[in-house]
């Protein structure tokens, strides 16, 4: 059934050992022969932390799916319990200056590509999805999640601030008062809470079912003119997209300034330490 499986082994050189997960590509794209829908899978153990390499692969895969004229894009994870743990905190903790710039710029690219994608997009959220994971999911047009996981923008819990465009994706899904309170609290929603509040659209009992429900959503556009559909979507999303496009340099500057604040570095260090302690128990 798979028209193609794009999962090349591209050797990569990097000078920073802690960021080298492996030399292989961290995403795969599988295109269903019958439906023409592309499934984009994140595969960066242990938690799909969004580092520069995973973001680069995500960006290239989204581009590839747009170029292939796929009927739609489903974003998911190869990890059975984690969709994505969000941004790899190691990219922001005691960062290398040039790498930090490339990291943030690539994250901006991924958001612009996914939120502004011409093809219908859906997320099969088959695991926890905090912060950057939630950003990816809410950039899609439809979300199906498995039970007993969590999703949300928890940045305030880390002592950091979700950038405006993270909030735009969140606000495109949630009512303003729910979004505002959740952002201020750094709230993580359980699957049930996410469904009740509209943060996700459906619950599925397995990854296969989630993928099928996402495909069904994408299939709902089969009788709609694709150009009219994509121009409508892009028009609806144009204000948020232009806002970041016009302010990319300032957004990068703000991020670099903020991340390098001693209080932020201290907070990230403590958060990482606690994560590590927890994983050892
Ligand atoms: C004005 C504003 C301008 C600029 C704004 C400036 C800054 C703001 C910028 C960006 C916004 C940030 C967005 C983010 O995405 S920050 C990341 C938030 N993510 C989290 O808080 C998730 C943390 N992780 C977890 O909760 C759990 O790990 C998880 C539920 C995902 C999985 O739990 P599980 O029990 O299955 O695994 P663990 O044992 O916890 O983890 C395994 C392993 O992985 C490490 N880990 C986990 N998450 C991360 C991460 N996000 N980054 C780096 N490393 C991570 C964890 O420490 C363990 O490592 P080890 O002990 O070495 O095995």
CA of 123 to the centre of ligand 1 (A): 20
Respond yes or no: is residue 60 known to be catalytic.
no
Among 157, 190, 133, 186, CA closest to 275 = 157
Fill in the DSSP letter of residue 280.
H
Side-chain-side CA neighbours of 204 within 13 Å: the count stands at: 20
Pocket of ligand 1 (CB under 6 A): 46-47, 49, 81-82, 85-90, 128, 130-132, 154-155, 158, 160-163, 254-255, 258-259, 275-276, 278-279
For atom 16 of ligand 1, which residue has the closest CA? Answer: 87
Instruction: State pLDDT tens for residues 84-121.
Output: 999 999 999 999 999 999 999 999 999 999 999 999 99
Q: In the chain, what are the domain boundaries? A: 2-280
Instruction: State pLDDT tens for residues 216-230.
Output: 999 999 999 999 999
Cα 172 from chain centroid (whole Å): 15
Fill in the DSSP letter of residue 188.
P
User: Quick check: 236 and 173 in contact, CB under 8 A?
Assistant: no
Residue predicted with more confidence, 251 or 16: 251
> Which percentage of the chain shows pLDDT scores above 70?
92
The CATH number of domain 2-280, selected from 3.40.630.30, 3.90.1010.10, 1.25.40.10, 3.90.226.10: 3.90.226.10
Q: Is the pLDDT of residue 167 over 70?
A: yes
Cα–Cα dist 243/201, whole Å: 27
3-state class of 28 per DSSP? strand
Whole-number average pLDDT of the chain: 92
Respond yes or no: is residue 253 known to be catalytic.
no
Q: Is the pLDDT of residue 233 over 50?
A: yes
CA of 47 to the centre of ligand 1 (A): 8
Q: Is the pLDDT of residue 23 over 70?
A: no
Respond yes or no: is residue 132 known to be catalytic.
yes
SS3 per residue for 96-161: CHHHHHHHHHHHHHHHHHHHCCCCCEEEEECCEEECHHHHHHHHCCEEEECCCCEEECCHHHHCCC
Respond yes or no: is residue 141 known to be catalytic.
no
Strand order in the sheet with 189-190: 129-130, 150-152, 189-190
The per-residue pLDDT for 281 is 75
The per-residue pLDDT for 183 is 98
ipTM over 0.90: yes
User: Quick check: 182 and 169 in contact, CB under 8 A?
Assistant: no
The per-residue pLDDT for 163 is 96
pLDDT band of residue 49 (cuts 50, 70, 90) is very high
Q: Is the pLDDT of residue 69 over 70?
A: yes
The per-residue pLDDT for 279 is 83
Q: Is the pLDDT of residue 206 over 90?
A: yes
Terminus-to-terminus CA distance in the chain, angstroms?
A: 43
Measured from the CA of 88, which atom of ligand 1 is nearest?
A: 52
Assigned token pair, 155: 């940045």
User: Quick check: 18 and 52 in contact, CB under 8 A?
Assistant: no
The per-residue pLDDT for 4 is 42
The per-residue pLDDT for 278 is 86
pLDDT band of residue 18 (cuts 50, 70, 90) is very low
CA of 88 to the centre of ligand 1 (A): 6
């Amino acid at each position: 059934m798979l028209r193609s499986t794009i999962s090349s082994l591209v050797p990569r050189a990097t000078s920073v050992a802690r960021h080298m997960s492996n030399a292989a590509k961290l995403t795969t794209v599988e295109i269903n022969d019958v439906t023409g829908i592309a499934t984009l899978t994140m595969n960066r153990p242990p938690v799909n932390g969004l580092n520069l390499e995973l973001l680069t692969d995500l960006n290239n895969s989204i581009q590839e799916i747009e170029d292939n004229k796929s009927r739609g894009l489903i974003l998911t994870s190869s990890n059975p319990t984690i969709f994505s743990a969000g941004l790899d905190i190691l990219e922001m903790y005691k960062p290398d200056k040039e790498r930090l710039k490339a990291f943030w710029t690539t994250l901006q690219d991924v958001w612009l590509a996914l939120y502004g994608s011409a093809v219908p997009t859906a997320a099969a959220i088959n695991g926890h999805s905090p912060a950057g994971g939630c950003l990816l999911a809410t950039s899609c047009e439809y979300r199906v999640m498995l039970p007993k996981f969590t999703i949300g923008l928890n940045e305030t819990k880390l002592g950091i601030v979700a950038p405006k465009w993270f909030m735009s994706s969140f606000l495109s899904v949630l009512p303003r008062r729910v979004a505002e309170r959740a952002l201020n609290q750094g709230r993580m929603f359980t699957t049930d809470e996410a469904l009740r509040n509209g943060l996700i659209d459906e619950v599925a009992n397995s990854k296969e079912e989630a993928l099928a429900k996402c495909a069904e959503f994408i299939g709902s556009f089969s009788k709609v003119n694709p150009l009219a559909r994509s121009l409508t979507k892009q028009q609806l999303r144009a204000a948020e997209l232009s806002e970041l496009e016009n302010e990319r340099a300032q957004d990068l500057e703000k991020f670099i300034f903020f991340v390098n604040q001693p209080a932020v570095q201290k907070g990230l260090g403590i958060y990482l330490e606690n994560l590590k302690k927890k994983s050892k128990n």
